[in-house]
Each structure stands twice: as C-alpha cells, then as structure tokens.
Amino acid sequence: MKKILALILTLIIAVTLISCDKDTPTETNTDTSTDTQTQTTDTQTDTDTATDTGTDIPDVPVDNKKDPTAGRIEHSVNVDQAINLGVFDAEDIFGNEGTSKQYSNVTDIDVSHLASGGNPYKISSGGCYRLTGKSNNGQIYVNASGQDIVLILDNLSLIYKGNEPAIFAEKCNSVTIILVNENTVADSSTNLKKGAIYVKSCGLTLDGTGTLNVTGNFKSGIFNTKELVINGGQYNINAKYHGIYGEQKLTINGGKFNITSEKSGLKSGDYDETAPLEAVVGSVVINSGSITIDATTNGISSYGGVEINGGRIAIKASSDGIDATENVTLNKATIIIDAKGDGIKTDKEVLIDGDANVKINSEGDGIDATVNVHMSTGGVVYIKTTASYAEDATLGSYVLVNGVYYKVDPADYPEMTMYSVVNSCKGIKTDGKITINGGSIGIDSAEDALKANEIVILGGKVVVSTNEDCADAVTSIAVSGGNIDVLNANKGLKAPAVTIDGGRMSIVTISDAIDSPAVTVNGGTLYLFENVDAGEGSFTINGGTVISISTENEPYLPTDGDQRFFFAKIEEKELYVYGNYVQIWGDAMDSIILKLPKKYSPKLSIVVSSEDVVPGAYQIDVGTCEGGKINSLECIGGIFTSLSSHPVELQ
C-alpha cells in the first residue's frame, strides 16, 4: 500500500508541482495537491520495482536465457514530460560556413595521368596548387621543408592503392586545403601511415564551400600531427580508426560533418602506455558547425580537454560520448549523445555554462567527472541512463520476469536466475562537488541521479526520477535556490548533513525523503511525501515552510476554512521525525506541517500563541505514540482539533 500511494503521489507532483518556477503560497499548493489526490487515486496501475524486496514480483515464469536483452525498470512518470525537450528538435541552422579565397599564381594539376602507374605527384616548393581529375591509383606527396602549401581540391577523385596516404605532406611549414565542388579521397588497407590524408610535422587548415568525401581504409580519415583547423566545408568521412585526428589540437570553426568511424569520431592528444613521457597533450575545440558522429568507441576523445562553444553535435557511440583527461566545457551549443558507455567522462571537471543544451542517453553514467561538475547553463540538460544486465549467480540481485528486471534479495529467490548491473549508470557522478546554478535539468536514471562528495544546488529547475537515490553525498547537501521536483526515487536527499536555505523542493520517494543525522531548514518551501530519517541526530527548522504529507495512510491535506490549525514555533531544534502528521501555523514561519515522531526528543518544545484562547482540553495529532511524550507544551492560545485521540490539557 505504501508503495502504491507513493507512486500515486508521483503522478500528483508531475501534474501539479513541476511547473512551479517560483515559491508559491502554502495554502494554494496544499489545496492543489488535495484536489489532484482525489482525482488520481484510482488511476495508478504501474508497479515500481527499483527498490522492491521481492514481495510484488508477479507470479509468472522467469526468463532464464543466458544473454538477456538489456532491460529497463520503467518509472511511472517520465522526466521528459516536465522538461522542454523541443530545443533538441529545432532545425539545424549550422551548415557549410566556409569561405572561398581567390589565389593567384595557381598551378593546375590533373591527377588523371597518375591512374596507370600509381606514381605520386611531388610538390617540393611553396605555392598554390589546384587538384582536379580522377585517379584510381595516384598520390599527392608534399616535401617542401619550411614552405607554405595551398591545395585547392576542385572536382578531385583521388584513390591510392599503395602503402602511403592518398595526400601525404611529410615536410612543410603549413598546408591549407580549400574545397571547391565535390571531392573524394581514399587510401587502401595497405597504407602504413595514420590517415588517408596525412600531414606530418606542420599545421593543417581546411576551408571552402565544397565537399570532401574521405575513406580511411587503414586508419584515420584525416590525420595531422600538429594543430588541425577546420573553418568550413562539408565532410563525409568513413574511417577504420578515427574520423578526424588533430594530435596537438583540433579546432572546428564551422562546416558540416558526417563521420562514421570504428574508433573515435574526433580525436586529439595521444598517450603511449609504453612511453608515457612522450605523451602528447591535445585538445578539441568546437566553435560552430553541424557535426554527426557514429563511432564504435568514443564520439569525441581527447588526451587533454574538450571545449564546445557553439554548433550542433549529435553523437552515437558504442563507448563514451565525450571522453577527456582534462576539463570538458560546454558553453553554447546543442549536444545530443547516445552512448553505450558514459555520456561524458573526464578525469577533471565538467562545466556546462552559457546557453548549452545537452541531451544524454547512456547505458553508463550520464556524466562521470573525477573532480567536479558545475552547471550554470541557461539551457536544457536532460540525462537518461539505462541499466544493462548480465547473469551473476554469486552477486546478482535482479531477476528477469517477462522482459523486466526486478530487484530482489537473492536469498528469497534461490530458484531464480540472478543478474547484476553491468555498468555504473548514475545520472551525474563525481568524486568531488556537483554544483547546479541554473538551467532546466532533467535526470531519469537507473541508479543515483546525483552522486558526489558534496552537492550544492543554487538555482535552476531540476526534475528527477530514479530507481535509486535522488542525491547521495559523502559529506553534505546544500540547497539555497531553484525549483526541484523529485518525481520518484528510493531516497531523496542522503548525506551526513543536509541544509535547506531556500528554493522550492517537492520530494516523492519510496523510502526516506531525507536521510541525514543533521537536517537544517533555514528557508524555502519543502514538500515531503515520505519520512525524514534523522536517526539519533537532529531536524532543525529555523525558517521556511516544511510540508509533510503522509503516504502511509490517507494524507491530511487542509482546505480553505479548515480549522485544524496550530499557531506555533519550535523552540528546541532537535526532533526525531517519524510517524503521522500534525499541521502547525506560525507568525514567524508562514505555514508548516511537521511529521511528528513516534519517539520524541526530550528537547522538543512547542509554544502555541493566538489572540483568542479558551483554556481546556484539546487534542493534538502525534501519531501512534509508543511511550513517547511532549515534555513541554505551553498554550497561550489557539484552535486545535485532531485526527487522533491524544488529549493535551491547556492551562
């Protein structure tokens, strides 16, 4: 019953509360919840299995196949109903963005005469060369030490069957490739170098308004050992290794890209485990462009940092979407990631700022940063993680029933085949600090939505649905702003210390809404649809509005004119929170509904005051009292009624 009611309230919150972007009066929100509760009580049929102990598993045969299809424990409410995902469907306005420059003293080279013998055309002096024609076995070879080379590709079709790249610049000061019309370049599987277009020991720049089709049959499509800059053009790249590789730095200022690669789509930097002192630290910088990547490993990989300042990037990756050793900074772009591994992974920080819009679907962690994660975007960040499973007779805790994985205690179901989760699939994970200071953030995760050493929420709209905990911190959780809705979770906020200074939070959970030995509320509005478990610690309310609504029994939701009000303030701050509910109204703290304990702290004291008071016997709802008592209740006045029968004599 508890679980069903909790899921009913999940639907209530999804409909009534998630659209509130500012704190609202307590009476208004409470009334709305009351009305919705009546309307939706009989409509909930979903069964949440994420934190089951096994009691609700259907009595149906278990599918014991050895290699189960990756499953998903579905939530009763989807986060995407609350987050505006339309920004990810907007028209792609990024295209060629290249420019064509007029060059003088151009040398025309028709590669058609290279078709028969496979002989290279050698460029040994600086200048501008226009490449045209078709060759099924030809090569452009540059050996011009200290010289600047411009190659204009104009209706070029160049395929080389030898053991070197089709375009190979071995020595020069710089190479600039200008695209005019449509061009094709390909190497063979016998190429011993690193790319179909390979520039060694000098910078490479690509520009123009034409198209370049590149096939890397041996390794990468385009490879440069120095800095590779792309200003424009259209690129269709199919590579056995990486699509585009700028070893020291890869900068994309514009262009349209379709990249299919059997390793990373875009890559920079290099690390050799056998010679770590020779590692090359690179970086990937994207300032604009329309980029589509389908990669067998990582979409974007950098032994260094990744910085995205604009454009539209769509990544499909069999490993990580973006993988870096330094900071990943997303400033202003639309980024869509579909990854079998982590969505974004780095050894340092992930910073999502500016107006970046980021959508991640992953079977690993949505964001995995070793140091910190900081979000202050004005855009939308949507993360959905899906668990994948493998048979695990020893450690497994899931069973597969009709294509759905149920979490159970293996000791209770020894006859069933057990499975375990293959990858960590948290929404955002870091060993450091998660800071959310803006944006519209939606997380729908198979495991914890937020997992960190410290979690700080300063602003923004945050909507969470998870099979595990909403926020799990090693040291502390602090909320001072924002509009936060936990639609469904095992536990809401879990940390040694939880401090609420402002903002609005609505938390619907299966277990504790807050699990912490030190809970302090100094401001804001807090709606709790489950217990606050402070253990032997403290629950301190210095201000703000705390509204607890029971899911154990029929919730008490007051309406206008209801006389079950109490004028009060909490003098002592220590409170064990467990049991049914009492409503308290106070002049210092707007309206408060506190979940009073079955067992009271000896420090609990309630002072009641009102202009009109008639001494006598009144009742206050304290739930099922198991030997506990309120040590001090001083009545100066007030109107009391009760949902239970615990009389209090007011003098």
| 551-582 confidence digits (pLDDT tens) | 433 333 333 333 222 222 233 333 333 332 33
pLDDT at 33 over 60: no
Query: Any idea which residue has 């454009």 for tokens?
Result: 311
pLDDT at 24: 33
Report which of 296, 382, 385, 379 is spatially closest to residue 336, judged by C-alpha positions.
382
pLDDT at 158: 96
pLDDT-derived band of residue 606, with 50, 70 and 90 as boundaries?
A: very low
| Integer Cα distance of 522 and 502 in angstroms | 7
pLDDT-derived band of residue 273, with 50, 70 and 90 as boundaries?
A: low
User: What are the boundaries of each domain within the chain?
Assistant: 2-45+461-612, 107-391+426-448
pLDDT at 116: 59
Average pLDDT value for the chain: 76
Single-letter code of the amino acid located at 579? G
pLDDT-derived band of residue 274, with 50, 70 and 90 as boundaries?
A: low
Residues near 42 by beta carbon (within 8 Å), at least 6 away in sequence: none
pLDDT at 55: 35
| Integer Cα distance of 385 and 363 in angstroms | 5
Residues near 625 by beta carbon (within 8 Å), at least 6 away in sequence: 598, 646
pLDDT at 398: 86
Mean pLDDT of 194-206: 95
Please give the residue that has the higher pLDDT: either 505 or 651: 505
Mean pLDDT of 258-267: 97
pLDDT-derived band of residue 401, with 50, 70 and 90 as boundaries?
A: confident
Q: Are strands 367-369 and 428-430 parallel, antiparallel or unpaired?
A: parallel
Please give the residue that has the higher pLDDT: either 518 or 598: 518
Output the six-digit token pair for 108: 């025309």
Single-letter code of the amino acid located at 367? I
pLDDT at 115: 64
**Cβ neighbour number for residue 148 with a 10 Å cutoff:** 15
pLDDT-derived band of residue 636, with 50, 70 and 90 as boundaries?
A: very low
pLDDT at 594: 41
Question: Whole-prediction pTM value?
Answer: 0.77
